[in-house]
Copies of this chain bind each other. A is one copy, B any other.
Amino acid sequence: MAKAPKNAISPTRQEDYPEWYQQVIKASDLAENSPVRGCMVIKPWGYRLWENMQRALDDMFKATGHQNAYFPLFIPMSFLEKEAEHVEGFAKECAVVTHHRLEPDPDGGLRPAGKLEEPLIVRPTSETIIGATYAKWVQSYRDLPILINQWANVVRWEMRTRMFLRTAEFLWQEGHTVHATSEEAIEETEKMIQVYADFARNWMAMPVTIGAKTAGERFPGAVETLSIEAMMQDRKALQAGTSHFLGQNFSKAQEIVFQSEAGTREFAWTTSWGVSTRLVGALIMTHSDDDGLVLPPKLAPNHIVILPIYKDDQRAEVMQYVKSLAEELRAQDYDGAPVRVEIDDRDMRGGEKKWHHVKRGVPIRLEIGPKDMQKNAVFMGRRDQPKSVGIDRNELVASIGDLLAEMQQSLYDRADQLRKDNTVEITNEADFRAYFTPKDEENPEVHGGFAVCHFADEDSLQPLLKDLKVTIRCVPSEDNETPGTCFFTGKPAAKRAIFAKAY
């Protein structure tokens, strides 16, 4: 029997999923922890991934009528106090600027000096500072709607951090809109969660469920929070994006008031919505395997890496061939843009070089040496398949766009199958308990995925959910019209919710 191949990542997903995640990030050179507590360094390969995400999302925001702007990093402490739930939600984890210079410390070194009259908070989110600005901009119904997005860094002083998923500083976008009517604001909230779902599905190849958060899980200050929820390979849920209908809560706190067409003074209706570098974590955990990162072609910095193989005297000939192939491939179209091809001609052992790109998730590797050239062939490794195969050069060039599209789809299908296989309807508490209780003491990570249950009352569930470390992810917006009975309380329930352990 053939020996099982050694994997590039240790431990494997099966052995220790959380540690596997950290090791994939390290092996694929996406990011590393920084010397600053809870903050990470996003390395070039990771940042290119984020840039590709940004570009796609930014185009989608602009296509739905939004413009970018930029608001201050700092929020005066008094601004945060104005919305009671909001400050409750963020006061416990925020970086506070109290001084504006350093001076020599008599004991040596430096110490803070120049105390500020009012402390400044490093924005954890910008509803309050942006709202204060909007209050000046909005006078009349003619000034509405305001449809603005901001790309920015934010800081939340999380105690337990994990790269991309939960870091003290992270990069994100935050949309903040103002509308004349409740209906319009709700429409915007729904439109943007659809944009996020579209991005997750079509760019990240990540299936998601759109739904509403229950009251206990809403954004602090929101009337309604919609989210997209994805299933990671350990069957935990990950909230990948949120869109909040804020009602008039923030417009009342910030006095965003307008004169209506009828001449009355009205509080405006606002929304906010955001996704962050957390999406990179979601991408890693959706597709990667025990050999490292796996990238959907639409977001991969490179689609193809060509690895020329030669002895010294063959170099010129092989490189010429490889360069002309690269040009031919770059002239092909994938998803409306040229195919992205890199040639890796570094002086390095062939195996090492191959694994370098496997671990970094490049969708397609092409190895080409003099023998392949003679046969007009290339040796192709698809990152989503275990074995490399020989393929005719011209056939490759002609089919490359289709091949990449097929990979994109197959990654989606695989993730979707996992989700289907690990989503069950549950109608009684015993089954619910069993589903979320680890089967294997050695491996407490092995537990159920998504449980779909009718429920009537969030509060009464809390002891059970806490006990099992399960949360209500969302009340799905689609395919959720059949009423039933809440087995927790025995009461009639109009909708089902998804329950899961979560990141």
Complex contact A157–B100 (CB within 8 A): yes
A95 within 8 A of B: yes
Q: Would you give 17 A-B contacts (Cβ < 8 Å), ordered by A?
A: A35-B79, A35-B129, A36-B76, A36-B129, A39-B72, A42-B69, A48-B67, A48-B68, A72-B169, A77-B110, A91-B101, A91-B110, A95-B99, A96-B99, A101-B157, A102-B121, A111-B119
Q: Nearest CB to that of A154 among chain B residues?
A: B73
Complex contact A74–B39 (CB within 8 A): yes
Residues of chain B within 8 A (CB-CB) of A153 are: 73, 152-153
Seed contacts A87-B102, A97-B122, A98-B99; 16 additional CB < 8 Å A-B pairs: A36-B76, A42-B70, A44-B68, A44-B148, A47-B69, A73-B153, A74-B95, A78-B109, A91-B101, A96-B98, A96-B112, A97-B98, A99-B119, A101-B157, A114-B157, A122-B122
Q: Say which residue of B44, B71, B148 sits within 8 Å of A67 (CB atoms).
A: B44
Complex contact B133–A110 (CB within 8 A): no
Residues of chain B within 8 A (CB-CB) of A40 are: 72
Given contacts A67-B44, A94-B100, A96-B97, whether A36 and B112 have CB atoms under 8 Å apart is no
Least CB distance from A340 to B in Å reads 13
Complex contact B97–A171 (CB within 8 A): no
Q: Say which residue of B46, B101, B111, B112 sits within 8 Å of A93 (CB atoms).
A: B101
Q: Say which residue of B41, B68, B119 sits within 8 Å of A72 (CB atoms).
A: B41
A405 within 8 A of B: no
A132 within 8 A of B: yes
A39 to B76, CA, bound (A): 12
Residue-wise, chain A 27-64 has the 8 Å CB interface mask toward B (1 for contact) of 00000101110011111101110110000000000000
A99 to B91, CA, bound (A): 11
Q: Nearest CB to that of A58 among chain B residues?
A: B51
Complex contact B34–A72 (CB within 8 A): yes
A81 within 8 A of B: yes
Q: Say which residue of B35, B98, B152 sits within 8 Å of A98 (CB atoms).
A: B98
Least CB distance from A207 to B in Å reads 28
Residue-wise, chain A 121-164 has the 8 Å CB interface mask toward B (1 for contact) of 11000000100110000000000000010001101010000000
Residues 440 to 464 of chain A near chain B (Cβ within 8 Å): none
Q: How many copies does the complex hold?
A: 2
A43 to B136, CA, bound (A): 13
Residues of chain B within 8 A (CB-CB) of A34 are: 71-72, 129, 133
A102 to B155, CA, bound (A): 14
A103 within 8 A of B: yes
Least CB distance from A37 to B in Å reads 9
Q: Nearest CB to that of A348 among chain B residues?
A: B142
Q: Say which residue of B69, B74, B132 sits within 8 Å of A43 (CB atoms).
A: B69
Complex contact B68–A95 (CB within 8 A): no
Residues of chain B within 8 A (CB-CB) of A41 are: 69-72, 133
Interface residues of A (CB under 8 A from B): 32, 34-36, 39-44, 46-48, 50-51, 67-81, 87, 91-103, 109-112, 114, 119-122, 129, 132-133, 148, 152-153, 155, 157, 169, 171
Least CB distance from A101 to B in Å reads 5
Least CB distance from A175 to B in Å reads 13
3 A-B pairs with least C-beta separation: A39-B72, A44-B67, A91-B102
Residues of chain B within 8 A (CB-CB) of A70 are: 41-42, 47, 50, 171
Residues of chain B within 8 A (CB-CB) of A44 are: 67-69, 148
Q: Say which residue of B42, B100, B120, B155 sits within 8 Å of A73 (CB atoms).
A: B155
Residues of chain B within 8 A (CB-CB) of A47 are: 67-70
A55 to B372, CA, bound (A): 40
Q: Nearest CB to that of A72 among chain B residues?
A: B39
Given contacts A67-B44, A80-B110, whether A169 and B74 have CB atoms under 8 Å apart is yes
A35 to B131, CA, bound (A): 11
Least CB distance from A354 to B in Å reads 19
Least CB distance from A211 to B in Å reads 31
Residue among A51, A67, A102 having the largest count of chain B Cβ atoms under 10 Å: A102
Complex contact B74–A36 (CB within 8 A): yes
Given contacts A36-B74, A44-B67, A69-B41, whether A95 and B91 have CB atoms under 8 Å apart is no
A252 to B35, CA, bound (A): 18
Residues of chain B within 8 A (CB-CB) of A80 are: 102, 110
